[in-house]
Structure formats: structure tokens, C-alpha cells
């Protein structure tokens, strides 16, 4: 890895995105930390990663707004910040169903959970041309029963795009996906919420961010792997 090689992790100020950014720093990458609203958390992560001896570039953008990612990446390149890894981790997890009107919610979920990754992937390919992309999905992309209709639709769409881009961006860019299960409780819930759900999955326990970190390292370092979906979910995707 060259000295100016960076990894961009979207939504990296908190939760799984933060753990991925820390793991990539531990692997030797400098990190581009992205946030939408959590500036204080992003600055805290910057200090933490700099304490590991890595350089950090912090940027803010909102997927619900219009963004020129070609220009953003060209600006990074002009600063000798060369992206080798892109992790599309930013996500918006909101309950919805068939009783909701849906049009506004679906549009927002598509923009937050799909459009950003779609546009960043295309710009990454145009500006940098080689490297590794990891899309963070959800183990529930295998299911059709959901209390998060618009969220799951957006994640399923990102899953299909993962397959398509793995084919079209080869051989210079590898594209894979991680599908987490019971790793962190959603906002407003605690660990007991996950423990109660764990009784219904094959391994009957919850996972940890360390499980996600190890998977990120495997996908980044495994140069003969592309188009794969790794379910870090204790077998949840196999359960009815």
C-alpha cells in the first residue's frame, strides 16, 4: 500500500461505520471520514485514528441533497488523497409498511440507502479506476416479510447493484457486500432487544462489531474475491 492510499467510509462517525473506519486504519490505511450531521462524533473519530498514526480527512455531505462526487473525488486526488477502498456504510433505518402512503418515504430511503452508494461507486470508478468497494447491506435482504418495507427495498436494490458492478467494474475494481444481522441494536433499543431476537436464529446469540471488522479485512485483502455477499448474522438468513 502506498503512503497516500486512503479508504473512504460513509457514515463513519458512529456505529458500524465507525468500527470499519478504525479497522481500516489498523490495517494501515489513512481514512476519509464522512458524516451527515454528527460533526462532533466525526471529529472525535479523527482524533482517535490520528492517535493510531494515520492521516484523516473529514468531509460532510448529505445524500438527500445534490452532490457532485466526480468533483469531490477529483479534489481529493488533487490533494494526493488516493482512494483505494470505498465502504458504502451510511444508512437510514426507518419502519414502514403497506399502510403508509409511501411515496415520500420510499424516495428518501432510496436516496439514503441506494443512490449515494450508486453515485459514489460510479465516481470512484471514473476518478480512481481501481480498488475495492464494500457495500453494507442487511441480512434481511433475503427476506420478503418486513416491518421496514422501504428500507429493505432500497437495500435489495443495492444488492442487485453490487452484483452488476462486480461484473462491469472488473478486473480493476472488486465489489462485495456484507450483510449484518444482530450486531448493534437500532436507535431507541438496547442489547436485550437483540438477545430476545437471537433465540430465533441458528446460533442463538448476537454478534459484535469485531465480526464485521474481520470481514472487512478479509474482503479488502482477498484479491480473488468479488461479487460475494457475506452474511454476518449467526445464520439468520437461513431461518424462516
Q: Report pTM.
A: 0.96
Q: For the domain with range 5-238, which CATH number is right: 3.10.20.90, 3.40.50.720, 3.40.50.300, 3.40.570.10?
A: 3.40.50.720
Lookup result for grid cell 445464520: 235
**Residue-level pLDDT at 231:** 98
212-228 pLDDT, tens digit each: 999 999 999 999 999 99
pLDDT tens digits along 135-159? 999 999 999 999 999 999 999 999 9
- Give the per-residue pLDDT at 2: 56
Q: pLDDT at position 100, please?
A: 84
Listed as ranges, residues in the chain with pLDDT below 70 are: 1-2
Amino acid at each position: 500500500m502506498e503512503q497516500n492510499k486512503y479508504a473512504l467510509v460513509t457514515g463513519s462517525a458512529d456505529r458500524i461505520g465507525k468500527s470499519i473506519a478504525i479497522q481500516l486504519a489498523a490495517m494501515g490505511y489513512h481514512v476519509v471520514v464522512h458524516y451527515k450531521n454528527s460533526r462532533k462524533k466525526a471529529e472525535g473519530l479523527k482524533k482517535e485514528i490520528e492517535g493510531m498514526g494515520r492521516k484523516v480527512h473529514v468531509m460532510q455531505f448529505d445524500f438527500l441533497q445534490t452532490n457532485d462526487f466526480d468533483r469531490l473525488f477529483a479534489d481529493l486526488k488533487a490533494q494526493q488523497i488516493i482512494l483505494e477502498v470505498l465502504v458504502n456504510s451510511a444508512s437510514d433505518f426507518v419502519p414502514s409498511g403497506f399502510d403508509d402512503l409511501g411515496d415520500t418515504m420510499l424516495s428518501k430511503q432510496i436516496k439514503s440507502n441506494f443512490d449515494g452508494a450508486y453515485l459514489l461507486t460510479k465516481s470512484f470508478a471514473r476518478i480512481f479506476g481501481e480498488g475495492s468497494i464494500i457495500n453494507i447491506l442487511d441480512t434481511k435482504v433475503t427476506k420478503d416479510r418486513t416491518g421496514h418495507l422501504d428500507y429493505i427495498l432500497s437495500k435489495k436494490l443495492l444488492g442487485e447493484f453490487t452484483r452488476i458492478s462486480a461484473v462491469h467494474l472488473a478486473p480493476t475494481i472488486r465489489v462485495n457486500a456484507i450483510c449484518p444481522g444482530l450486531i448493534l441494536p437500532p436507535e431507541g433499543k438496547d442489547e436485550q432487544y437483540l438477545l430476545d431476537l437471537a433465540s430465533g436464529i441458528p446460533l442463538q446469540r448476537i454478534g459484535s462489531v469485531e465480526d464485521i471488522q474481520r470481514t472487512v479485512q478479509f474482503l479488502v485483502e482477498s484479491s480473488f474475491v468479488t461479487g460475494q455477499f457475506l452474511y454476518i448474522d449467526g445464520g439468520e438468513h437461513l431461518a424462516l
